Structure 1
Amino acid sequence: MTEKQIVVLGAGYAGLTAAARAGKRDRVTLIAPETRFLHRIRQHETAAGHPEHRPAVADLIRGRGVRHVRARATRLDLTARKVFLDTGEAVSYDTLVYALGSRTAWHGVPGAAEHARTAEQAAELAERLRSAERPGTVAVVGGGATGIELAAELAEAHPRWRVRIVAAGQVGGWFSARGRGHVLRVLERLGVEVHEQSTVTAVDAAGLDTARGRIPADLVAWAAAMEPHPLAAEAGLAVTASGRAVVDDRLRSVSHPDVYVIGDAAEVTVPGTGTLRMGCATAQPMGKYLGRVLAGRTDRPFAFRYAVQCLSLGRRDGLLQLIHGDDSMRPTVFTGRAGKLAKAAIVGGVVSTLR
């Protein structure tokens, strides 16, 4: 072990992966309040009442030179190289890895934060569905991957509930024609009502107001969009208009090169690929790369190419969409059991890759 002080903020896909790998050679302080890894891409299963798959952080860093500090970072002093925590402690660093990721974005929609439940509140959503006196209507806001998976899972697990998915654009509109067609057919089979081109303008205890009219709902699940944690901007790191930190080709902050930024918090542009989207598919490769950098195993620029996109569509169906390296769609898709097994294999591999 070297005496270099590496501090990693965040125990998500990017942060844990980087910390575990850097901890093979250096002493690493991992700062995150969680005792268990939040497997975000399986939160739709938790919301439907299925068992959670959240391995202990201690197990994922066992045998590495990683000290886990259970706290939240509240302030960064980039000049003094210190991280201030909600416990009152200040932690010094030589190298900082900023991996605080993203959180649900409300986009200023009146009533959304007060009356909707997010994917991060999956266990609470499951309890609300389980303890309801009688079945009602649940509206899932968001036509992206999280919204689609959540709507399908809830409809299959709670067939007596009426499930609606509400999207500002098209549900699954980024997929190929075959891919989107399969998504819509599965949602129809599961009894999910699809409301497209229906931007939500307000949320209250009885449902949603949208650009196309009123949609009643007893329960609202919000999966509309994500935004980066604001601490990077507050600390003075160079960020984009959306709040993602601007980094160079080695994932270093362009304004503070002793700070690496990875995962959803970073605006990463790769030649030939483009600006990477948020998500596990891009966050974990960044963590793997940075772990190798910190361990002195590579000095090459970060490289990344897309290969597939996948969706879980309930317990028995799924979608595996082949894509080009720049994230554009190929015509080939695998659906049904083949799509489900492919998605399960990818999700299962994520946890093993964390170490």
Structure 2
Amino acid sequence: MTGQHRIVVLGAGYAGLAAAGRLASKARGARITVVDARTDFVERVRLHQQAAGQQIPAWSLRELLDSKKIHFVCARATEIDTVGKRVSLDTATVLDYDTLVYALGSTADRTSVPGLAEHAYSVSTPEEASRFGAPSGTVLVVGAGATGIEMAAELAESLHDSRVCLLSPEEPGAWLSPRARKHIRRVLERLGVEIRSDAKVLEVTAAGVRLADGTLIEAAATVWTAGFAVPDLARRSGLSVDGTGRVLVDAALRSISHPDVYAAGDSAVIAGPGGRDLRMACATALPTGKYAADAIVARLRGAEPGKLRFRYVVQCLSLGRRDGLIQVLHADDSPARTVLTGRPAAWVKEQVVRGAGWAARP
């Protein structure tokens, strides 16, 4: 490669850092710039621990990126000019690019029910997790997906003066195998979590939540884990997106409307095995971030990128600090029969989280 190709990576989460690190090692001669509104990389998959009052590790993005000669700009991208190939930042700075990697990840859904933005906490960002504190009284966790299950277990184990209630229209871990669901329920009940798997929340109030049947459940705090959204920057900038605002990409993770833009992680719609779109997860962000970088490097060298080879292997859930669940998966993300539970699963989950953190860092 000759000359200096300018690559701007928006987002320094798992996908963005994975892409930047791979580009730094393979895109010789390119100028790589990472833009993120935060100064530190925090393992997002630990934010339920932070909300429960635990200290979680953080790494300076500037130090991580400087060590690999990657330029770091602490700012928020406000506009992408896809014609002029420029990114405007909230610091009144404009960055020019030849190739853009869009990896802004996801945030909590704050609009799906009335009162959510005003009265509920979330654990989708470090700032939101740190605001939760340690309330006395009833804490409602809305949503029985992976985040809700982990949050309810962590709070029940850590907050001894609080009653934790998990609300969802479905059984906790409904997408997992019967053995996995049984273990989740057994552990949550042992920790004292009240499970309501018939509860559809229609409104969040300062006093608690209102259900579809009109019942008001009072609470000292409500934590919302029942959905995620993506930033609207791609939509506002004219990129082709789906109904939720995620970037539509081809098989090489290149925007179908703007070939100089690649997208990875939660903010992209990526086809996976079995015709399913890849789910929002750290397990998706890391490999797709690295693959996007490989695809960019291949095209800079005048070659076509190889096929994205992706499959899920396991899904890991922590159930407090002393128990966990490892669900073995088929290639299409459906659950296999094999599960690991208890302290061995908690140990494996911790190693996976640590490994993901190391894999993301350049």
Which bracket does the TM-score occupy, shorter chain normalised? over 0.9
Q: Are the structure 2 counterparts of residues 125 and 347 from structure 1 closer, same or farther at C-alpha, using a change threshold of 3 Å?
A: closer
What SS does the aligned partner of 1:306 have? Answer: coil
**2:342 equivalent to 1:336:** yes
What SS does the aligned partner of 2:124 have? Answer: helix
**2:37 equivalent to 1:33:** yes
- Match of residue 170 from structure 2: 169
Listed as ranges, the matches of 1:1-355 within 5 Å are 3-24=4-25, 25=28, 26-120=30-124, 128-130=132-134, 132=135, 135-212=136-213, 213-272=215-274, 274-296=276-298, 299-354=305-360, 355=362
Alignment deviations for residues 115-144 of structure 1 (CA, whole Å, 9 cap, x no partner) = 1111036666566544x5xx2111011111
The residue identity in structure 2 corresponding to 1:42 is R
What runs of 5+ residues in structure 1 fail to find an aligned partner? none
More off after superposition, 119-128 vs 4-13: 119-128
What runs of 5+ residues in structure 2 fail to find an aligned partner? none
Please state how far the C-alpha of 1:227 moved relative to its aligned partner.
Answer: 1.3
Q: Distance in 1 between matches of 2:275 and 2:316?
A: 19
What SS does the aligned partner of 1:260 have? Answer: strand
Alignment deviations for residues 223-282 of structure 1 (CA, whole Å, 9 cap, x no partner) = 111012111111111111222111001000001011001111100013546211111110
More off after superposition, 317-326 vs 302-311: 302-311
**TM-score, normalising length: structure 1:** 0.95
**TM-score, normalising length: structure 2:** 0.93
Q: Distance in 2 between matches of 1:275 and 1:299?
A: 20
Contact 2:111 2:117 in 1 (8 A): no
Please state how far the C-alpha of 1:211 moved relative to its aligned partner.
Answer: 1.6
Q: Distance in 2 between matches of 1:121 and 1:72?
A: 15
What SS does the aligned partner of 1:100 have? Answer: coil
Runs of 4+ in 1 over 4 A off after TM superposition: 121-128
More off after superposition, 287-296 vs 310-319: 287-296
More off after superposition, 286-295 vs 32-41: 286-295
Alignment deviations for residues 189-244 of structure 1 (CA, whole Å, 9 cap, x no partner) = 00001111311111111100012422111111111110121111111111112221
Question: How many residue pairs are counted as aligned between the two chains?
Answer: 352
Contact 1:273 1:304 in 2 (8 A): no
- Aligned-residue CA RMSD (Å): 1.7
Q: Are the structure 2 counterparts of residues 90 and 50 from structure 1 closer, same or farther at C-alpha, using a change threshold of 3 Å?
A: same
Q: Distance in 2 between matches of 1:324 and 1:270?
A: 12
Q: Distance in 2 between matches of 1:299 and 1:157?
A: 48
Q: Distance in 2 between matches of 1:120 and 1:158?
A: 20
Q: Are the structure 2 counterparts of residues 19 and 136 from structure 1 closer, same or farther at C-alpha, using a change threshold of 3 Å?
A: same
